[in-house]
C-alpha cells in the first residue's frame, strides 16, 4: 500500500474517532439542556437563594416554640369557629367576626391546621415561617420590578428577611394575619406593576383586585393598598393619568367597606387606656410623632424589644423627653428629602411615602388598644425604609471606601441576624415573653398581668398572685388582674375574697363577661343560686358564644331541679363548640344521676374521646359501665384512670376487678 493511501486511511480513522466522540457527547441533548437550564437558573438567582436559605436557618428554632397566652389562646384554643370544617362552620368563618376582628382567610388557615394537627404548635409555626419565606421572595420580585439596579432588590429583601422587628409577625402564631395578608398584598402590587408595564392589560388589573380582596380577608390593614397602587403609578410613569384614577375607584370602595367592618368589629377593643382622657390635644400630636419616630429609629437600631410598648405615664402633665424630640427628627427627615438631588429625591420620596401610607393606620391617629406602638406593625412598612437604605448603600459604594463600607454593612447584618435569633427565643413560652417585656418596660401592668396568667396556667399560684398585685399597684383601674386574683383566692377557699375581687373587676368594666361568670361560680358555691343565675345570664348577654357561662347556668338549673332547662343550656354550649367536653360531662352526670346509664354512657364516651388524657373521665365511664353490668369494660377503664393518675380508681379495682 502506498504511503499516501496509508495517510488517507489514518486520516479517515481519525475523523471517524472524532465523530464517535461527538456522538458520545451529544447522545441525550434533552438531559444536557435540562442540566444547563438548572445550572443557569442557580447562577442567575444564587443571591436570592442564599437569602432564603439564611432566612430558614435564622427562623428554624421558631418551630420549637409553643403557644403563648397572648391571643394564641383566643384564636386557637378557645376559637369555636376552627373546631371543624363543616359547611355551617365555614359559613360562620366568612360571615361572622371573632375576637373583634374579621379576617376569614386567616381563620380558615387555623381551621385547616386544627383539623389536621389539633393543638400541636409546630405546624402552626411552620406555616408562619413558610409565609415569611414566600413574602421574602415576593419583596425581591416587587422591588426588582420597580428598579434597574440589580443590587437594590437583594439588599431590600435581605433587610426584610432578617430584621428583628419582624420576629413578632412571624414567631407569634396569633399574628398569622400579618404574614398572610402581606403575601396577597405583595402579589397584588406585583400584578399591578405588570398591568402598568404591559400596555395596561386589563387581566392584570383584575388579578390585582382579586388578590386585594384576599389580602383584606386576611387582615383589614390591607385597606391602604389603593393609595400604594397610585404611588406606584406615579413612581413608574412619573404621573397619574385619569384612567389610573378611575380604575382605582373600586379599590377605594372596597377599602371603605372593609374599613367600616373593621371599625364596627373593633369598637369594643379600645383597650384599658382612654387616650382622649389621659392626654390633651398637643400631647396626642406628640404621640403620633413619637410613633413615627419610634418606627424609624428602631429600623436603624432595633433594641428594647417588648410584646407591649405601653402608653407613657404623664408626670406633672408632661411626657417623657424623647416625645418632644420626635417632631424635630421628622422635620429634619422631610428637609433632607427636599434638598436631596433629583434622582435620590425620587427614591427617598417613594420609600418614605410607602412607609407613611402603610403605617398610617397604627400611629395613633385613631387611638386603640393598650400599646402606643407595636413591633408587628412594621412588617410591610419597613419595605419602604429598606428600599431607601438599599439605594443609599449602592450610592455610597460608588463614592467611598468600598472595603470599609462593606465591612460596616456586614457587621450591621450580623447585628440584625443575632438580634433576630435572640428575639425568636423570647417567643418560646409565655413566661419568657412577659419577663422580657417587663425588663424592657418595668411599668407595663399588662405584662405583669400576662405573666401572672402564664404562671397560673402551670400552677405557680404564689408568683402569679404577686404579679397580679404588682399589676394592680401600677394601674388600680385595670380590671383583669382583679378577676384572675379572684380565681387564686377561690382555689384557696377564700370565696368571699374572690367575690370581692370579681365585684371590683365588674365595677371597672361593666362588660367583663368572664368576671360575671366567675362571680356566678363563686356565688353558686356559696349557695346563692339566684344571684349566680343572674350573673351567668349577664355573661351570656354580653357574649352570646360564652360556652362556660351556658354550662355553668345549666349546672345551677340542674341543682335547682330544672333538668330540661339545664339540658338546653348544655346542648347550646355543645352547639357553639362541639369539642367542649365539660358540657358532655355535665349531660352525662345528669343522666347518670337519673339512672339512665345508657344515655350517660354515650356522653362519657364522648368526654374521653375529646380528652383522652382525662383520668376522671375514664373513672366516670367505668362506673357507668359497671352499672350496665359490663364489668370487663369497667375494669379496663378504671385501670386507664389509675394509669392516668386517678388514685381513687384503685379502690374500685380492688372491689370489682379480681
Please write the tens of the pLDDT for every residue from 93-117. Answer: 999 988 889 999 999 999 999 999 9
Averaged over 60-66, what is the pLDDT? 96
Averaged pLDDT for residues 329-357: 92
Q: CA 243 to CA 654: how far, in whole Å? A: 85
Q: What is the pLDDT of residue 36?
A: 73
The three-state secondary structure class of 318 is: strand
Question: Are the CB atoms for 365 and 288 separated by under 8 Å?
Answer: yes
Q: What gap in Å lies between CA 523 and CA 61, rounded to an integer?
A: 46
**Considering the domain boundaries, does residue 42 fall inside one?**
no
* Average pLDDT score over the chain: 91
| CA dist., res. 364 & res. 348, Å (int) | 24
Indicate whether 11 pLDDT > 50. Answer: no
Strand partners, 310: 371
Q: What is the model's pLDDT at position 148? A: 87
What do you get for the CA distance between the two ends of the chain, in Å?
110
pLDDT digits (tens, 9 = 90+) for 287-329: 999 999 999 999 999 999 999 999 987 766 789 999 999 999 9
Residues sharing a CB contact under 8 Å with residue 467, sequence separation 6 or more, in sequence order:
448, 449, 451, 452, 455, 481
Are the C-beta atoms of 478 and 471 separated by less than 8 Å? yes
Task: Assign residue 188 a region (left: φ > 0; alpha: ψ between -120 and 50; beta: otherwise).
Answer: alpha
State the pLDDT at residue 30.
61
Give residue 27's pLDDT.
Answer: 47
Which of 34-38, 246-250, 483-487, 595-599 has the weakest average pLDDT?
34-38
Sign of the torsion angle spanned by Cα atoms 271, 273, 274, 275: negative
Is residue 242 included in any domain, yes or no?
A: yes
How does residue 19 score in pLDDT terms, banded at 50, 70 and 90? very low
Give pLDDT tens digits for 600-652: 999 999 999 999 999 999 999 999 999 999 999 999 999 999 999 999 999 99
pLDDT band at 89 (very low <50, low <70, confident <90, very high): confident
Alpha-carbon span 571 to 609, nearest angstrom:
18
pLDDT at 588 over 60: yes
Do the domain assignments include residue 595? Answer: yes
Say if CB 381 and CB 295 are below 8 A apart: yes
Whether the per-residue pLDDT at 410 is higher than 60: the answer is: yes
Cross-strand bridge partners of residue 318: 315
The span from the CA of 417 to the CA of 409, in Å, is 12
pLDDT at 35: 67
Query: How many domains in the chain?
Result: 2
Cross-strand partners of 455: none
Q: Is residue 274 part of a domain?
A: yes
Q: What is the 3-state secondary structure (H, E, C) of 589-634?
A: HHHHHCCCHHHHHHHHHHHHHHCCCCHHHHHHHHHHHHHCCCHHHH
Residue 280 has pLDDT above 50, yes or no: yes
Average pLDDT of the segment spanning 383-410: 91
**How does pLDDT run across 442-466, given as a tens digit for each residue?**
999 999 999 999 999 999 999 999 9
H-helix or E-strand spanning residue 83: none
Question: Looking at the domain assignment, is residue 128 inside a domain?
Answer: yes
Q: What's the average model confidence in pLDDT over 33-45?
A: 76
Closest CA to 229 of 258, 188, 200: 188
Query: Residue 507: inside a domain, yes or no?
Result: no
Domain boundary at 426, 448, 477, which?
426
What's the mean pLDDT in 357-372?
84
pLDDT bracket for residue 579 (50, 70, 90)? confident
- Answer left, alpha or beta for residue 149, where phi above 0 means left and psi between -120 and 50 means alpha: beta
Domain enclosing residue 322, as ranges: 54-426
Surface-to-core class of residue 216, CB atoms within 10 Å of its CB (0-12 exposed, 13-18 middle, 19+ buried): buried
Contact criterion met (CB below 8 Å) for 381 and 354? yes
**Neighbour-count burial of 124, counting CB atoms closer than 10 A to its CB (0-12 exposed, 13-18 middle, 19+ buried):** buried
Looking at residue 26, what is its pLDDT?
47
In a domain? residue 127:
yes
CATH code, domain carrying 617 = 1.25.40.10
The 8-class DSSP code of residue 20 comes to H
Q: Is residue 2 part of a domain?
A: no
Which of 407, 426, 445 corresponds to the end of one domain?
A: 426
Return the closest-CA partner of residue 63 out of 435, 431, 428, 454.
428
Q: What is the mean pLDDT of residues 121-150?
A: 96
**Mean pLDDT across 67-72:** 96
Mean predicted confidence (pLDDT) in 27-36: 61
pTM of this prediction exceeds 0.75: yes
Q: Which of 360, 391, 426 is the last residue of a domain?
A: 426
Amino acid at each position: 500500500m502506498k504511503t499516501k493511501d496509508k495517510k488517507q486511511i489514518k486520516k479517515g480513522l481519525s475523523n471517524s474517532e472524532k465523530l464517535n466522540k461527538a456522538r458520545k457527547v451529544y447522545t441525550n441533548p434533552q438531559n444536557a439542556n435540562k442540566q444547563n437550564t438548572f445550572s443557569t437558573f442557580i447562577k442567575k438567582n444564587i443571591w436570592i437563594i442564599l437569602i432564603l436559605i439564611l432566612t430558614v436557618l435564622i427562623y428554624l428554632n421558631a418551630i420549637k416554640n409553643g403557644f403563648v397566652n397572648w391571643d394564641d389562646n383566643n384564636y386557637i384554643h378557645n376559637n369555636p369557629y376552627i373546631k371543624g370544617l363543616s359547611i355551617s362552620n365555614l359559613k360562620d368563618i366568612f360571615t361572622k367576626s371573632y375576637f373583634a376582628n374579621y379576617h376569614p382567610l386567616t381563620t380558615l388557615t387555623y381551621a385547616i391546621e386544627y383539623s389536621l394537627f389539633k393543638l400541636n404548635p409546630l405546624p402552626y409555626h411552620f406555616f408562619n415561617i413558610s409565609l415569611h419565606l414566600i413574602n421574602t421572595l415576593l419583596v425581591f420580585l416587587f422591588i426588582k420590578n420597580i428598579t434597574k439596579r440589580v443590587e437594590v432588590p437583594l439588599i431590600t429583601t435581605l433587610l426584610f428577611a432578617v430584621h428583628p422587628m419582624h420576629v413578632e409577625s412571624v414567631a407569634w402564631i396569633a399574628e398569622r394575619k400579618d404574614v398572610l395578608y402581606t403575601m396577597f398584598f405583595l402579589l397584588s402590587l406585583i400584578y399591578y406593576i405588570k398591568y402598568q408595564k404591559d400596555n395596561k392589560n386589563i387581566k392584570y388589573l383584575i388579578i390585582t383586585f382579586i388578590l386585594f380582596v384576599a389580602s383584606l380577608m386576611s387582615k383589614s390593614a390591607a385597606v391602604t393598598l389603593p393609595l400604594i397602587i397610585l404611588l406606584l403609578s406615579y413612581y413608574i410613569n412619573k404621573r397619574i393619568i385619569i384612567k389610573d384614577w378611575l380604575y382605582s375607584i373600586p379599590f377605594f370602595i372596597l377599602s371603605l367597606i372593609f374599613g367600616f367592618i373593621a371599625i364596627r368589629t373593633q369598637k369594643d377593643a379600645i383597650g384599658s387606656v382612654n387616650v382622649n382622657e389621659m392626654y390633651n390635644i398637643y400631647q396626642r400630636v406628640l404621640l403620633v410623632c413619637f410613633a413615627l419616630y419610634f418606627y424609624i429609629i428602631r429600623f436603624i437600631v432595633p433594641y428594647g424589644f417588648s410584646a407591649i410598648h405601653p402608653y407613657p405615664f404623664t408626670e406633672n402633665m408632661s411626657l417623657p423627653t424623647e416625645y418632644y424630640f420626635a417632631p424635630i427628627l421628622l422635620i429634619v427627615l422631610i428637609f433632607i428629602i427636599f434638598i436631596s438631588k433629583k434622582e435620590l429625591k425620587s427614591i427617598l420620596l417613594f420609600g418614605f411615602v410607602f412607609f407613611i401610607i402603610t403605617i398610617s393606620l397604627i400611629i395613633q391617629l385613631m387611638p386603640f388598644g393598650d400599646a402606643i406602638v407595636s413591633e408587628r406593625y412594621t412588617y410591610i412598612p419597613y419595605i419602604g425604609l429598606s428600599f431607601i437604605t438599599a439605594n443609599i448603600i449602592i450610592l455610597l459604594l460608588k463614592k467611598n471606601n468600598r472595603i470599609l463600607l462593606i465591612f460596616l454593612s456586614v457587621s450591621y447584618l450580623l447585628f440584625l441576624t443575632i438580634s433576630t435569633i435572640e428575639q425568636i427565643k423570647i417567643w418560646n413560652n409565655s413566661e419568657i415573653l412577659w419577663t422580657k417585656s417587663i425588663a424592657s418596660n418595668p411599668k407595663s401592668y399588662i405584662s405583669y398581668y400576662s405573666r401572672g396568667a402564664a404562671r397560673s396556667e402551670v400552677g405557680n399560684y404564689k408568683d402569679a398572685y404577686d404579679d397580679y398585685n404588682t399589676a394592680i399597684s401600677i394601674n388600680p383601674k385595670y380590671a383583669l388582674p382583679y378577676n384572675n386574683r379572684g380565681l387564686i383566692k377561690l382555689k384557696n377557699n377564700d370565696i368571699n375574697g374572690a367575690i370581692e375581687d370579681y365585684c371590683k373587676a365588674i365595677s371597672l368594666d361593666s362588660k367583663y363577661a368572664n368576671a360575671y361568670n366567675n362571680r356566678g361560680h363563686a356565688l353558686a358555691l356559696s349557695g346563692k343560686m339566684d344571684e349566680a343565675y343572674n350573673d351567668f345570664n349577664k355573661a351570656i348577654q354580653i357574649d352570646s358564644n360564652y360556652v362556660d357561662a351556658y354550662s355553668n347556668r345549666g349546672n345551677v338549673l340542674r341543682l335547682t331541679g330544672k333538668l330540661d332547662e339545664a339540658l338546653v343550656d348544655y346542648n347550646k354550649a355543645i352547639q357553639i363548640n362541639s369539642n367542649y367536653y365539660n358540657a358532655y360531662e355535665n349531660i352525662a352526670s345528669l343522666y347518670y344521676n337519673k339512672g339512665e346509664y345508657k344515655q350517660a354512657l354515650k356522653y362519657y364516651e364522648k368526654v374521653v374521646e375529646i380528652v383522652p388524657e382525662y383520668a376522671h373521665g375514664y373513672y366516670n365511664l367505668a362506673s357507668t359501665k359497671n352499672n350496665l353490668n359490663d364489668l370487663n369494660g369497667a375494669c379496663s377503664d378504671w385501670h386507664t384512670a389509675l394509669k392516668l393518675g386517678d388514685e381513687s380508681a384503685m379502690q374500685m379495682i380492688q372491689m370489682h376487678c379480681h
